Chains A and B, each alone.
Chain A
Amino acid sequence: MSCFLLALAALAWGQAPPAASLTGVVLDDATGAPVPRTVVTIRTSGSTEDAVAWSDASGAFAFSPIPPETYSLDARHAGYETARFTLPLAPGEERRLVVRIRAVGSISGTVSDADGDPVLHASVELLPAANRSGPLHRSVAHVTTDDRGRYHLQGIRPGRYLLVAFSHEHPPGLSVTTVGQPAEELASGLQFYPKSDRLSAAAPITLGPRQDLDGFDFRLVPQPATSVEGSVILPPTTAPDTPVYVRALSEDTIGFGGSSQVAVNRADGSFHLQGLLWGRYVVDTDLTARGRGYHGMERVEAGQEPGRVTIRLDPLAEVPGAVRIAGGTGGLPQHLRIRLVPRDPVFQLMNLDPEAEVGADGAFRFESLPPGAWAVEPAGLPEGWYLESARLGDLDVLAANMPVSPGTNAALDIVLGAQGAVLEGGSKPAAHILLAPAGPLANLLSRYYTTTSDAAGLFKISGIAPGAYRLYAFDRLDAEPGEYPDLVRSLGDSGESVELAAGSHTSRQVGPVSTAPLEEAK
């Protein structure tokens, strides 16, 4: 606020605000060595203007003088992950940055069939080994094999991964067929590394910085296919011409290797899903009848014997809600949305991410929510805003998930805060700073804040949601954001305890902690 007043005062006197300066050094995150010839670009918030600097032999770069503004910065160098962050600069501020960039690596191998012939155009997907955004492993990189059956996943950040390969293109199982005789049906070949047809038996691969791993080979053998058959009990209000579809998603392969969808026979409600791999499936269907949404879902196992299932459709829940601002003053930000992230892996598989627009009066409405557990997340929040509380009726759904059932009859009350706290401090130079929520919100990823201290060891985090935190400094931080809660738990009572009030400005010193690798922490 004082910066704003200062700027205003300067304008009032007809003067430009004093310029800021930005200098820095680019370091290899793993080795600490300077990285020369990095292209560092800063952009003004509206992206109307940019400036470029190259790091020199000592990794140093400089932009000065530049108008005080909020910039976005990116640092690019071949063989490294591009580092990006937002950088607010106050009038007259002389910022000395340390930019740590992470060298990437690659994973290669070959996909072949039962005879050792290469499988061309096979898909290979890279999944994080740790759960990041929830219970599900979402693919972070995808390639297809070349004309030798080789694949090469590159530009991969160091970490622990799972690999899965599959191919839909496989030759028919027979070389001779006779009209009228049933053909043997094969399902796609699929394999998790190493040699497993299900996620639960996949083994993680550890990729280090600048490491090129090879020999992660797959052998895809198309399997005899199975099927799932059954019927759907439709609500009596369903119009006779409404098309109804049923789909099957493999729980063993979390949907990789293909899902299957088929239309329901409206005469008797029956369906028959074919060409499936053996294993466990989630079979679901949804429809709208007389303006009301319905959803039905069952789990089934299919193998030698086809899976059999009857699906009953339940009405979807309607959840209205309202957004307020803490303290009750000021307008809501524009383009604000409320997003519900499914906690049930099956809904994540289905890419179900319901979102509701928030009106100018703060009202929103989810019209058709399937039963399950959801995490509440605002989207489109301006810099410095945060989710202060979320309640479904009397239930706190910020620290815990929001349970929804067909009978849910409560409103979602969301309070946003705009008066973020500021934490400034000192540590050793180029340290990774982590501010972690303490107490019941320890699992709330949006309450974790990270930054890097500058060449003088100084750091600043703004827009922090008020509350109790622990502050840590690390020489190295290999954990992914989704792993922060586990990391912090493993550190016990170390770190500085900090209590931050709304709009407060706090200073703290923090000594570096050497990180235990996360594998040991678990």
Chain B
Amino acid sequence: MAAKKQPAHPLEDLIRVDRIPHIWCPGCGVGSVFASCLAAIKDTGIDYRKFTMVSGIGCSGRGAGYVKLDSFHTTHGRAIPFATGIKMAKPDLNVIVFSGDGDLFAIGGNHFIHAARRNMDLTVICINNLIYGMTGGQVAATTPNQAKTATTPYGNPETPFNLPLLAYASGATYVARWTMIHVRDLIHSFVEAINHRGFAFIEVLSPCPINYGRRNKESAMQILHSFQDKTIIQNGADPAALDMDLTKSVTLGKFIHVEKPTQDECYAKVCMGEE
């Protein structure tokens, strides 16, 4: 009896194996989040041809390049409007936006709030590593106050976004936050987000030891430990109370999960007269 061929990877059918090795650094968390996302896609049981992934620019933005789905690596900050075009032209697709904090919330911030306001039926996964990693560690809209970066050598004088609050205030109908070590919760959350009809946003904290940790004297392992030791899970927490301080406490969980008509449903009903 011939031995059954071992797959190169349990998610082989969703990975462009011919593109491995990937670009992510040792100690980076993007790969774990990416694997969780693929595991969730698989877990939904939905035909892969009904999925598409869109990324912007940056380390996380390379996600679309490794997934064996119809996938798009767009311009900096514009993954959401690209995804919006796809979704509105073909509403039966599950459109996943996989990108980073710099891409989605600085250059792409305007698109994020408007897609949330429309309750555009997208799954938006934001890998938040608190920094612009690919360009060498410059301050981001998510960098903690006082943190050292390549462009804040004296410490960050600015205040970071509370991303779940921003998503909630903009109209997102599913909002969660996890870290890349919370793999089971993450996969569960991604499955929920994909199945959710409406704008789903998941923030995933992830280490950038090379460009954030190095300047702030935190090793990859120390960052992972803080993800374990300094986080509490509090589902349904008030989004206004979710400011982060990884030296003290960061609240994780699913904060918002409500049903509301989506943009494509509303367009069909209001503009096309469909029941």
- On whether the two chains bind one another, the answer is no
- Residues on A lying within 8 angstroms of B by beta carbon are none
